[in-house]
Amino acid sequence: MSYAYGFIVVLFPLYLKKIGFSTPLVGVTVFAAMVMNAALAVLAGMLADHYGRKYVLTALLIAFAASAALTTSLRSPILLALLAGLAGFTSGATGGPIGSGGPLGAVQTAIISEVSSRSGMSELLGIAAVAEMASAMLGAFSITAASYLGVSPYSLFYVAALLGFASAIGSGFIKDMGIRSQKLVPSLSYKNIFKLSAPTIPCGLGSGLVIPLLSLWFKLRYNATTGEIGAVFGAMDLAMIAFTLVIPRLAREAGRLKIIVFTRVASSLSFVLMAFSPIFPIAGLFLILRGAFAMGGMPVRQSFVMLNVHETERATANGSTSFSRNTASSVGAAISGYAMREFITYLPLLGGAIALFDPLLYYLMFKGQWGEKRYRWVADLLA
Protein backbone atom coordinates (compact mmCIF):
# COMPACT_ATOMS: atom_id res chain seq x y z
CA MET A 1 0.00 0.00 0.00
CA SER A 2 2.81 2.40 0.79
CA TYR A 3 4.35 1.81 -2.62
CA ALA A 4 1.05 2.96 -4.11
CA TYR A 5 0.89 6.00 -1.82
CA GLY A 6 4.36 6.95 -3.00
CA PHE A 7 3.14 7.74 -6.51
CA ILE A 8 -0.61 8.19 -6.29
CA VAL A 9 -0.59 11.36 -4.15
CA VAL A 10 1.72 12.94 -6.74
CA LEU A 11 -0.19 11.76 -9.79
CA PHE A 12 -3.77 12.50 -8.77
CA PRO A 13 -3.72 16.34 -9.09
CA LEU A 14 -1.61 16.04 -12.24
CA TYR A 15 -4.15 13.61 -13.68
CA LEU A 16 -6.98 16.06 -13.01
CA LYS A 17 -5.05 18.76 -14.85
CA LYS A 18 -4.25 16.37 -17.70
CA ILE A 19 -7.91 15.58 -18.39
CA GLY A 20 -8.71 19.28 -18.69
CA PHE A 21 -9.62 20.48 -15.20
CA SER A 22 -8.82 24.14 -14.51
CA THR A 23 -6.57 24.89 -11.54
CA PRO A 24 -9.55 26.09 -9.42
CA LEU A 25 -11.50 22.95 -10.34
CA VAL A 26 -8.52 20.81 -9.32
CA GLY A 27 -8.58 22.58 -5.96
CA VAL A 28 -12.33 22.09 -5.50
CA THR A 29 -12.11 18.40 -6.42
CA VAL A 30 -9.26 17.83 -3.99
CA PHE A 31 -11.20 19.78 -1.34
CA ALA A 32 -14.26 17.54 -1.71
CA ALA A 33 -12.13 14.39 -1.59
CA MET A 34 -10.33 15.52 1.55
CA VAL A 35 -13.57 16.39 3.36
CA MET A 36 -14.99 12.97 2.59
CA ASN A 37 -11.81 11.19 3.64
CA ALA A 38 -11.67 13.18 6.89
CA ALA A 39 -15.25 12.23 7.77
CA LEU A 40 -14.55 8.61 6.88
CA ALA A 41 -11.60 8.59 9.29
CA VAL A 42 -13.87 9.34 12.25
CA LEU A 43 -16.49 6.81 11.18
CA ALA A 44 -13.91 4.10 10.46
CA GLY A 45 -12.21 4.73 13.80
CA MET A 46 -15.42 4.32 15.77
CA LEU A 47 -16.46 1.23 13.82
CA ALA A 48 -12.99 -0.30 14.24
CA ASP A 49 -12.94 0.24 18.01
CA HIS A 50 -16.45 -1.10 18.45
CA TYR A 51 -16.62 -3.97 15.93
CA GLY A 52 -12.99 -4.95 15.34
CA ARG A 53 -10.03 -3.09 13.83
CA LYS A 54 -8.89 -5.92 11.58
CA TYR A 55 -12.22 -6.17 9.76
CA VAL A 56 -12.57 -2.45 9.15
CA LEU A 57 -9.00 -2.32 7.85
CA THR A 58 -9.78 -5.04 5.29
CA ALA A 59 -12.85 -3.18 4.06
CA LEU A 60 -10.84 0.04 3.65
CA LEU A 61 -8.17 -1.74 1.62
CA ILE A 62 -10.77 -3.18 -0.75
CA ALA A 63 -12.27 0.30 -1.18
CA PHE A 64 -8.82 1.69 -2.03
CA ALA A 65 -8.23 -0.99 -4.65
CA ALA A 66 -11.61 -0.49 -6.32
CA SER A 67 -11.16 3.28 -6.41
CA ALA A 68 -7.69 3.06 -7.98
CA ALA A 69 -8.96 0.67 -10.65
CA LEU A 70 -11.78 3.02 -11.70
CA THR A 71 -10.04 6.42 -11.55
CA THR A 72 -8.54 6.67 -15.04
CA SER A 73 -11.82 5.70 -16.70
CA LEU A 74 -13.69 8.68 -15.21
CA ARG A 75 -13.92 12.38 -16.10
CA SER A 76 -16.64 13.54 -13.71
CA PRO A 77 -15.36 15.82 -10.90
CA ILE A 78 -18.01 14.45 -8.54
CA LEU A 79 -17.15 10.80 -9.14
CA LEU A 80 -13.41 11.45 -9.03
CA ALA A 81 -13.77 13.32 -5.74
CA LEU A 82 -15.87 10.45 -4.38
CA LEU A 83 -13.29 7.80 -5.29
CA ALA A 84 -10.34 9.90 -4.12
CA GLY A 85 -12.06 10.59 -0.81
CA LEU A 86 -12.85 6.93 -0.28
CA ALA A 87 -9.28 5.87 -1.03
CA GLY A 88 -7.31 8.80 0.40
CA PHE A 89 -5.58 9.86 -2.82
CA THR A 90 -5.24 13.44 -1.52
CA SER A 91 -3.89 12.73 1.96
CA GLY A 92 -0.39 14.05 1.28
CA ALA A 93 2.97 12.60 0.43
CA THR A 94 3.90 11.30 3.85
CA GLY A 95 5.10 7.83 3.17
CA GLY A 96 2.09 5.59 3.64
CA PRO A 97 -1.05 5.06 5.71
CA ILE A 98 0.57 5.78 9.10
CA GLY A 99 1.91 9.17 8.08
CA SER A 100 -0.91 10.09 5.77
CA GLY A 101 -3.56 9.75 8.41
CA GLY A 102 -7.11 9.20 7.26
CA PRO A 103 -9.09 6.05 7.96
CA LEU A 104 -6.31 3.62 7.00
CA GLY A 105 -3.78 5.32 9.23
CA ALA A 106 -6.23 5.60 12.14
CA VAL A 107 -7.01 1.90 12.18
CA GLN A 108 -3.50 0.68 11.39
CA THR A 109 -1.89 2.76 14.14
CA ALA A 110 -4.40 1.45 16.69
CA ILE A 111 -3.64 -2.14 15.63
CA ILE A 112 0.10 -1.57 16.11
CA SER A 113 -0.49 -0.03 19.54
CA GLU A 114 -2.20 -3.25 20.65
CA VAL A 115 1.10 -5.14 20.61
CA SER A 116 3.36 -2.36 21.89
CA SER A 117 4.61 -1.44 25.35
CA ARG A 118 3.99 2.13 26.48
CA SER A 119 7.66 3.04 26.61
CA GLY A 120 8.50 1.52 23.24
CA MET A 121 5.46 2.65 21.27
CA SER A 122 7.18 5.60 19.55
CA GLU A 123 9.99 3.37 18.32
CA LEU A 124 7.65 0.59 17.18
CA LEU A 125 5.53 3.06 15.23
CA GLY A 126 8.79 4.49 13.88
CA ILE A 127 9.84 1.06 12.59
CA ALA A 128 6.48 0.64 10.87
CA ALA A 129 6.78 4.13 9.38
CA VAL A 130 10.29 3.40 8.10
CA ALA A 131 9.06 0.23 6.38
CA GLU A 132 6.25 2.23 4.79
CA MET A 133 8.51 5.06 3.67
CA ALA A 134 11.07 2.74 2.12
CA SER A 135 8.30 1.30 0.00
CA ALA A 136 6.82 4.72 -0.75
CA MET A 137 10.23 5.95 -1.88
CA LEU A 138 10.29 3.23 -4.53
CA GLY A 139 6.78 4.24 -5.52
CA ALA A 140 7.80 7.89 -6.00
CA PHE A 141 10.82 6.94 -8.08
CA SER A 142 8.59 4.70 -10.21
CA ILE A 143 7.06 7.88 -11.64
CA THR A 144 10.52 8.95 -12.81
CA ALA A 145 11.21 5.46 -14.19
CA ALA A 146 7.92 5.41 -16.11
CA SER A 147 8.68 8.86 -17.54
CA TYR A 148 12.10 7.87 -18.84
CA LEU A 149 10.80 4.57 -20.20
CA GLY A 150 8.07 6.34 -22.15
CA VAL A 151 5.28 4.63 -20.21
CA SER A 152 2.30 6.68 -19.11
CA PRO A 153 2.73 7.30 -15.37
CA TYR A 154 -1.07 7.18 -15.00
CA SER A 155 -0.98 3.44 -15.72
CA LEU A 156 0.37 3.17 -12.17
CA PHE A 157 -3.20 3.59 -10.93
CA TYR A 158 -3.78 -0.03 -12.00
CA VAL A 159 -0.68 -1.10 -10.07
CA ALA A 160 -2.20 0.62 -7.03
CA ALA A 161 -5.40 -1.38 -7.51
CA LEU A 162 -3.50 -4.67 -7.54
CA LEU A 163 -1.54 -3.69 -4.44
CA GLY A 164 -4.75 -2.72 -2.65
CA PHE A 165 -6.31 -6.11 -3.26
CA ALA A 166 -3.08 -7.87 -2.23
CA SER A 167 -3.03 -5.84 1.00
CA ALA A 168 -6.65 -6.76 1.71
CA ILE A 169 -5.72 -10.44 1.43
CA GLY A 170 -2.68 -9.89 3.67
CA SER A 171 -4.79 -8.22 6.34
CA GLY A 172 -6.53 -11.54 6.87
CA PHE A 173 -3.42 -12.75 8.69
CA ILE A 174 -3.63 -10.02 11.35
CA LYS A 175 -4.62 -11.38 14.76
CA ASP A 176 -7.76 -9.90 16.25
CA MET A 177 -6.79 -9.04 19.85
CA GLY A 178 -10.44 -8.73 20.89
CA ILE A 179 -10.17 -5.14 22.14
CA ARG A 180 -13.58 -3.47 21.83
CA SER A 181 -15.12 -0.23 23.00
CA GLN A 182 -18.43 -0.60 24.82
CA LYS A 183 -20.01 2.30 22.96
CA LEU A 184 -19.77 3.39 19.34
CA VAL A 185 -19.28 7.04 20.36
CA PRO A 186 -16.26 7.58 22.68
CA SER A 187 -17.17 8.19 26.32
CA LEU A 188 -13.88 7.68 28.20
CA SER A 189 -11.49 9.91 26.30
CA TYR A 190 -13.56 12.63 24.67
CA LYS A 191 -11.91 15.51 26.59
CA ASN A 192 -8.40 14.51 25.61
CA ILE A 193 -9.51 13.72 22.06
CA PHE A 194 -10.66 17.33 21.76
CA LYS A 195 -7.37 18.65 23.16
CA LEU A 196 -5.35 16.42 20.82
CA SER A 197 -7.42 17.48 17.81
CA ALA A 198 -7.14 21.25 18.31
CA PRO A 199 -3.46 21.66 17.30
CA THR A 200 -4.01 19.71 14.09
CA ILE A 201 -6.31 22.43 12.71
CA PRO A 202 -3.59 25.03 11.94
CA CYS A 203 -1.28 22.21 10.90
CA GLY A 204 -3.87 20.95 8.43
CA LEU A 205 -4.81 24.38 7.14
CA GLY A 206 -1.19 25.42 6.58
CA SER A 207 -0.11 22.20 4.93
CA GLY A 208 -3.38 22.03 2.96
CA LEU A 209 -2.49 25.28 1.23
CA VAL A 210 0.59 23.61 -0.22
CA ILE A 211 0.82 19.81 0.02
CA PRO A 212 -2.23 18.53 -1.95
CA LEU A 213 -1.32 20.59 -5.04
CA LEU A 214 2.44 20.61 -4.45
CA SER A 215 3.34 18.71 -7.61
CA LEU A 216 1.29 21.22 -9.59
CA TRP A 217 2.97 24.12 -7.72
CA PHE A 218 6.41 22.84 -8.73
CA LYS A 219 5.31 22.56 -12.33
CA LEU A 220 3.81 26.06 -12.51
CA ARG A 221 6.48 27.85 -10.44
CA TYR A 222 9.64 26.22 -11.81
CA ASN A 223 8.39 24.38 -14.93
CA ALA A 224 9.65 21.15 -13.35
CA THR A 225 9.06 17.91 -15.24
CA THR A 226 7.10 14.97 -13.87
CA GLY A 227 10.35 13.00 -13.61
CA GLU A 228 12.08 15.77 -11.62
CA ILE A 229 9.14 16.09 -9.24
CA GLY A 230 9.07 12.34 -8.69
CA ALA A 231 12.81 12.39 -7.89
CA VAL A 232 12.32 15.06 -5.21
CA PHE A 233 9.47 13.15 -3.59
CA GLY A 234 11.61 10.01 -3.63
CA ALA A 235 14.51 11.86 -1.99
CA MET A 236 12.08 13.20 0.60
CA ASP A 237 11.03 9.66 1.45
CA LEU A 238 14.71 8.73 1.93
CA ALA A 239 15.21 11.68 4.31
CA MET A 240 12.02 10.72 6.15
CA ILE A 241 13.44 7.25 6.75
CA ALA A 242 16.66 8.65 8.23
CA PHE A 243 14.86 11.10 10.53
CA THR A 244 12.27 8.52 11.63
CA LEU A 245 15.03 6.17 12.73
CA VAL A 246 16.56 8.86 14.94
CA ILE A 247 13.84 11.17 16.29
CA PRO A 248 11.68 8.58 18.19
CA ARG A 249 14.81 7.52 20.08
CA LEU A 250 15.43 11.12 21.11
CA ALA A 251 11.97 11.20 22.69
CA ARG A 252 13.16 8.80 25.39
CA GLU A 253 15.51 11.48 26.70
CA ALA A 254 13.91 14.78 25.70
CA GLY A 255 10.28 13.78 26.18
CA ARG A 256 7.53 13.39 23.62
CA LEU A 257 6.04 16.86 23.88
CA LYS A 258 9.37 18.60 23.36
CA ILE A 259 10.08 16.50 20.28
CA ILE A 260 6.62 17.23 18.87
CA VAL A 261 7.08 21.00 19.31
CA PHE A 262 10.62 21.06 17.89
CA THR A 263 9.91 18.97 14.80
CA ARG A 264 6.74 20.90 13.96
CA VAL A 265 8.45 24.27 14.26
CA ALA A 266 11.25 23.03 11.98
CA SER A 267 8.84 21.63 9.39
CA SER A 268 6.80 24.85 9.31
CA LEU A 269 9.91 27.02 8.85
CA SER A 270 11.01 24.79 5.97
CA PHE A 271 7.78 25.70 4.18
CA VAL A 272 8.52 29.39 4.74
CA LEU A 273 12.03 29.08 3.28
CA MET A 274 10.71 27.12 0.31
CA ALA A 275 8.70 30.18 -0.75
CA PHE A 276 11.90 32.22 -1.15
CA SER A 277 13.78 29.56 -3.15
CA PRO A 278 14.93 30.98 -6.51
CA ILE A 279 15.35 27.64 -8.29
CA PHE A 280 13.71 24.21 -8.21
CA PRO A 281 16.62 22.27 -6.57
CA ILE A 282 16.67 24.62 -3.56
CA ALA A 283 12.88 24.49 -3.20
CA GLY A 284 13.12 20.71 -3.46
CA LEU A 285 15.72 20.64 -0.69
CA PHE A 286 13.46 22.57 1.69
CA LEU A 287 10.57 20.26 0.83
CA ILE A 288 12.80 17.30 1.71
CA LEU A 289 13.63 18.89 5.08
CA ARG A 290 9.99 19.73 5.71
CA GLY A 291 8.92 16.16 5.08
CA ALA A 292 11.79 14.73 7.13
CA PHE A 293 10.95 16.78 10.24
CA ALA A 294 7.19 16.29 9.86
CA MET A 295 7.38 12.54 9.36
CA GLY A 296 10.31 12.00 11.72
CA GLY A 297 8.22 13.35 14.57
CA MET A 298 5.03 11.59 13.48
CA PRO A 299 5.55 8.32 15.44
CA VAL A 300 6.20 10.39 18.57
CA ARG A 301 2.98 12.36 18.06
CA GLN A 302 1.02 9.19 17.42
CA SER A 303 2.30 7.50 20.56
CA PHE A 304 1.49 10.71 22.45
CA VAL A 305 -2.10 10.40 21.21
CA MET A 306 -2.28 6.69 22.03
CA LEU A 307 -1.01 7.20 25.57
CA ASN A 308 -3.41 10.04 26.32
CA VAL A 309 -6.60 8.09 25.48
CA HIS A 310 -8.13 4.83 26.64
CA GLU A 311 -6.88 1.74 24.79
CA THR A 312 -10.39 0.85 23.59
CA GLU A 313 -10.80 4.25 21.89
CA ARG A 314 -7.45 4.62 20.13
CA ALA A 315 -8.70 4.22 16.56
CA THR A 316 -11.44 6.75 17.28
CA ALA A 317 -8.86 9.19 18.67
CA ASN A 318 -6.71 8.74 15.58
CA GLY A 319 -9.72 9.19 13.35
CA SER A 320 -10.76 12.35 15.19
CA THR A 321 -7.33 13.97 14.95
CA SER A 322 -7.24 12.99 11.29
CA PHE A 323 -10.67 14.53 10.81
CA SER A 324 -9.68 17.90 12.26
CA ARG A 325 -6.38 17.95 10.37
CA ASN A 326 -7.73 16.75 7.03
CA THR A 327 -10.84 18.93 7.15
CA ALA A 328 -8.63 21.96 7.70
CA SER A 329 -6.35 20.71 4.93
CA SER A 330 -9.29 20.46 2.57
CA VAL A 331 -10.11 24.12 3.19
CA GLY A 332 -6.49 24.98 2.41
CA ALA A 333 -6.59 22.91 -0.77
CA ALA A 334 -9.75 24.66 -1.97
CA ILE A 335 -8.16 28.06 -1.36
CA SER A 336 -4.83 27.14 -2.95
CA GLY A 337 -6.41 26.35 -6.30
CA TYR A 338 -7.44 30.00 -6.58
CA ALA A 339 -4.44 31.43 -4.72
CA MET A 340 -2.04 29.89 -7.23
CA ARG A 341 -3.33 32.29 -9.86
CA GLU A 342 -2.77 35.34 -7.64
CA PHE A 343 0.35 34.82 -5.53
CA ILE A 344 1.81 31.43 -6.42
CA THR A 345 5.33 32.45 -5.38
CA TYR A 346 4.55 32.96 -1.68
CA LEU A 347 1.94 30.28 -1.14
CA PRO A 348 4.30 28.14 1.03
CA LEU A 349 5.09 31.24 3.12
CA LEU A 350 1.44 31.58 4.10
CA GLY A 351 1.10 27.85 4.71
CA GLY A 352 4.20 27.71 6.90
CA ALA A 353 3.17 30.74 8.94
CA ILE A 354 -0.25 29.24 9.72
CA ALA A 355 1.28 25.85 10.59
CA LEU A 356 3.46 27.45 13.28
CA PHE A 357 0.36 27.73 15.49
CA ASP A 358 0.32 23.90 15.66
CA PRO A 359 3.34 23.49 18.00
CA LEU A 360 2.20 26.52 19.99
CA LEU A 361 -1.16 24.87 20.72
CA TYR A 362 0.50 21.57 21.61
CA TYR A 363 2.55 23.37 24.23
CA LEU A 364 -0.39 25.34 25.62
CA MET A 365 -2.69 22.29 25.76
CA PHE A 366 -0.19 19.91 27.37
CA LYS A 367 2.47 22.12 29.01
CA GLY A 368 2.01 20.16 32.24
CA GLN A 369 3.83 17.29 30.49
CA TRP A 370 6.68 19.48 29.18
CA GLY A 371 9.20 18.35 31.78
CA GLU A 372 8.29 14.65 31.70
CA LYS A 373 10.44 12.17 29.81
CA ARG A 374 7.95 9.35 29.98
CA TYR A 375 4.22 9.85 30.09
CA ARG A 376 1.85 7.93 32.27
CA TRP A 377 -1.05 6.27 30.53
CA VAL A 378 -4.20 7.17 32.49
CA ALA A 379 -6.48 4.15 32.47
CA ASP A 380 -9.55 5.99 33.71
CA LEU A 381 -9.74 9.40 32.07
CA LEU A 382 -13.06 10.11 33.73
CA ALA A 383 -11.45 10.33 37.16
Q: Is 120 helix (H, G, I), strand (E, B) or coil?
A: coil
Under 8 Å between Cβ of 295 and 125: no
Q: Which CATH superfamily is domain 2-173+187-369 in?
A: MFS general substrate transporter like domains (1.20.1250.20)
| Distances, alpha carbon 377 to alpha carbons 188, 301, 308, in Å | 13, 14, 6
Under 8 Å between Cβ of 217 and 347: yes
What is the band of 380 on the pLDDT scale with cuts at 50, 70, 90? very low
Q: What is the DSSP letter of 367?
A: G
> Is the pLDDT reported for residue 115 higher than 70?
yes
Alpha-carbon distance of 189 to 100, in angstroms, equals 23
Alpha-carbon distance of 350 to 357, in angstroms, equals 12
| Residue ranges in the chain assigned as alpha helix (H) | 2-18, 23-51, 53-71, 77-87, 97-100, 102-114, 121-149, 156-170, 190-197, 200-208, 214-222, 226-254, 256-275, 280-296, 298-307, 314-343, 347-355, 357-366
Q: What is the DSSP letter of 378?
A: -
Name the phi and psi angles at 309, rounded to 5: -135, 165
| Distances, alpha carbon 25 to alpha carbons 16, 30, 218, in Å | 9, 8, 18
Neighbours of 378 (CB within 10 A): 15
Amino acid 167: pLDDT: 94
Average pLDDT over the chain, rounded to an integer: 84
pLDDT per position as a tens digit, 208-230: 888 867 888 888 888 888 888 88
> Is the pLDDT reported for residue 265 higher than 90?
yes
Amino acid 173: pLDDT: 92
pLDDT per position as a tens digit, 321-354: 878 887 787 777 777 767 776 666 778 888 899 9
Alpha-carbon distance of 241 to 72, in angstroms, equals 31
> Is the pLDDT reported for residue 270 higher than 90?
yes
pLDDT per position as a tens digit, 54-91: 999 999 999 999 999 999 999 999 999 999 988 888 76
- Amino acid identity for residue 307 in this structure: L
Q: Which has the higher per-residue pLDDT, 184 or 40?
A: 40
Under 8 Å between Cβ of 357 and 234: no
Point out the least confidently predicted range of 54-63, 164-173, 246-255, 335-344.
335-344
The angle subtended at Cα 44 by Cα 30 and Cα 237, nearest 5°, is 55
Alpha-carbon distance of 359 to 297, in angstroms, equals 12
Question: Angle formed by the axes of helices 77-87 and 53-71, to 10°?
Answer: 150
Structural Rg of the chain based on CA atoms? 19
Amino acid 101: pLDDT: 64
Under 8 Å between Cβ of 154 and 24: no
Domain regions of the chain by residue span: 2-173+187-369
Buried b (16+ CB within 10 A) or exposed e, 178-197: ebebeeeebebbbebbeebb
Within 13 Å and on the Cβ side, how many CA atoms surround 347?
29
> Is the pLDDT reported for residue 260 higher than 50?
yes
Alpha-carbon distance of 239 to 55, in angstroms, equals 33
Q: Which has the higher per-residue pLDDT, 134 or 293?
A: 293
Q: Which of 155, 4, 15 is nearest to 87 (CA)?
A: 4
